[in-house]
Structures are given as C-alpha cells and as structure tokens.
Amino acid sequence: MPELPEVETMRRGIRGVVGCRVEGVLRPRCRLRPIAVEPSWVVLRRRLTGREILAVERVGKRVVLRLDDQSRVVFEPRMTGLVLLTDPPDQEHLRLGLALAYPGGAAAPGGRHEAPPVLWYWDRRGLGQVRWLSDKAFVERYLSGHLGPDALLVSADELRARLGGSRRAIKVGLLDQAAVAGVGNLYASEILHVARIHPARPARSLAAAEWQVLHAALTDVLNEAVRYEGSTLSDGTYRNALNQAGSYQNHHRVYDRAGQPCVDCQGAEIVRVVQAQRATFFCPICQPRRRGRPR
C-alpha cells in the first residue's frame, strides 16, 4: 500500500545515501518467484557498479536514485515493497541490495567507522519492480510520459482541468495516476471525507468551489500523513527505511472504519462500498450524494 506519503517517507529515510558509490548489486538467495528487474540483473550490475548517487527523488509512488551519469534506478514498491537501510523484517523476502561505499574512503559520516551500508529492497508479495533507465528513457517514461503532476505540487485549477471533465466517480479519478500522481486507495477515501464529497459523485459534477475544497483536502491529508511517516495497516507490512512503523493509521477518519462512528458528525457509521473493485469508505451524513449540503 505504499502511496505518496509512504514513498515520500522512504525517500527521506534513504536520503543519506547521496554521495555514496555503488559497490555492487546483491541478489539474495530467495526461494520465491523473482521480482521484475529491468532490463536485467546483468545490465543492472554493469550500469550501477562504480556509480555515485547524486540524488534521491520521488516520482509519484516510486523512489528514484539519480546516478552521476544522470541515469536512474527506480524502485516501484507496488503493494508490499520496502526500501531499507537497516536489517529487513525477514530474509525470505529480501529481493535486491545495493552495496554502498562512502565517498573517498571507509569512514562513515560523522567520523564513526561503520560498516558500509547496504540499501535493501524487500518485498513480501513481490509485485514490485526495480529498473534502470537512461536519463532520456527516464524522462520519457516518468516526466513527460503518462504520469500526471505530483499530488503535492498540483494546483487546484490543474486538478480540476485534469479530472473535471470525466464522468468517472471522483474517487476513481483520484486513483488515476495519469491524472494526478501519488494518491492511492487509502488516501483517496481520507481526502474525500475531509473535503466532504461523496466518493461516487461524477467528477464533472463538482462545482468550482468544491475543487478548491478538494485540493485543500488533498494537500492537507497528504502533508499530514507525511508528517506521521505514512500508514502501517494491521498487517504491519509498511515500514520506513529503518524498519519502523508509521503512525498515520491512528489518524484515519474513514479508512477501514466501517461500522464505527464518524469522527466528525458522530451521527452516522462509516460505510464501506466497492468502487472499481476497491474498497471505499465514507460517511453518508458528512459526504452527501447531492452537493450543496451546508456544513
């Protein structure tokens, strides 16, 4: 479930690898089906070994390492992928490691002498992917390609322009990475509750003022979730780069709260419905189907 807040937390957690050099690509013995590595392990080794990491970036729900030849390594965690700078939750689901060396010698930052770190990619279900792309291929695929603007950077007007013409339910539209990048199933429900908009309303039915409210809710919820380092759900899968749980799950208003009272109105129970084969949670009182209901 890594969505924008979780992936941003991953990114921040591994920022310290900037300036490190990649010594090698580790392939832990994993009895499970191998994850997708593109173009191949051989190419990955050849292109990464010896390169310096210039930056750690994020594009939508992906963590990106920018190397000193401007090529990129992209970690796409999908459902259960983690990027770690510490010991992983278990060995069975370790998929890939980047052995790192500090620049200019063996000393760790701060003058301590630590073992050079390994940046691990761990993935329970193995749906995630790791790929290497040239600068050109990266720009084509992720910057000028199908992905919409980042959810934390998009303006209210742009949000409406990219979503507002559609007949789709607004909840489904928010999940469309080509419209806006970073929102996933959990945060879509949370955002709509804060915005007091019914998830099944056709996107094109939102009034101008509602796009402003939706945009504010989008920004507020995602920023707040980043502050709490993302949501670790009951299965405990999601962890930050130090294998620690996030805490935004303690602040969920609707997600996974079906049957519980709405934290806002206290007058209704949170309802669970299915849209586009995904669970949606909302409050039927606070998020009326017809617009114009006063606060």
Which are the catalytic amino acids? 2-3, 61, 278
The CA-to-CA distance between both ends of the chain, in Å, stands at: 32
Residue carrying the six token digits 């030849």: 69
Site for DNA in 29-58 (CB under 7 A): 32-33
Site for DNA in 247-266 (CB under 7 A): 256
3-state secondary structure (DSSP) of residue 198:
coil
Smallest distance from the beta carbon of 7 to DNA, in angstroms?
9
Burial per residue of 190-221, b for 16 or more beta-carbon CB atoms within 10 angstroms, e otherwise: bbbbbbbbbbbbebeebeeebbbbbbebbbeb
Residues binding DNA: number (CB under 7 A): 36
Piece in contact with DNA (CB under 7 A), picked from 10-18, 95-103, 123-131, 211-219: 123-131
Burial of 292 per CB tally in 10 Å (0-12, 13-18, 19+): exposed
3-state secondary structure (DSSP) of residue 53:
strand
8 scored as a contact of DNA (CB under 7 A): no
Identify any residues that bridge with 24 across adjacent strands, giving them in sequence order: 99
Piece in contact with DNA (CB under 7 A), picked from 15-23, 101-109, 118-126, 192-200: 118-126
117 scored as a contact of DNA (CB under 7 A): no
- Beta-carbon contacts of 110 under 8 Å, excluding residues fewer than 6 positions away, are none
127 scored as a contact of DNA (CB under 7 A): yes
Q: Determine how β-strand 21-26 pairs with β-strand 94-101.
A: antiparallel
Piece in contact with DNA (CB under 7 A), picked from 45-53, 98-106, 184-192, 208-216: 184-192
146 scored as a contact of DNA (CB under 7 A): yes
Given 235, 250, 259, 295, the residue binding DNA (CB under 7 A): 235
The half-sphere exposure of 133 on its side-chain side, counting CA atoms within 13 A, is 19
Give phi and psi for 38, each to the nearest 5: -120, 145
Smallest distance from the beta carbon of 167 to DNA, in angstroms?
4
243 scored as a contact of DNA (CB under 7 A): no
Q: Which is nearer to DNA, 124 or 198 (CB)?
A: 124
Smallest distance from the beta carbon of 91 to DNA, in angstroms?
11
In angstroms, the CA 273 to CA 258 distance is: 9
82 scored as a contact of DNA (CB under 7 A): no
In angstroms, the CA 232 to CA 255 distance is: 12
Positions touching DNA (CB under 7 A) are 1-3, 32-33, 60-62, 76, 78-80, 92-93, 124-127, 146, 166-168, 172, 175, 177, 184-186, 233, 235, 256, 274, 276-279
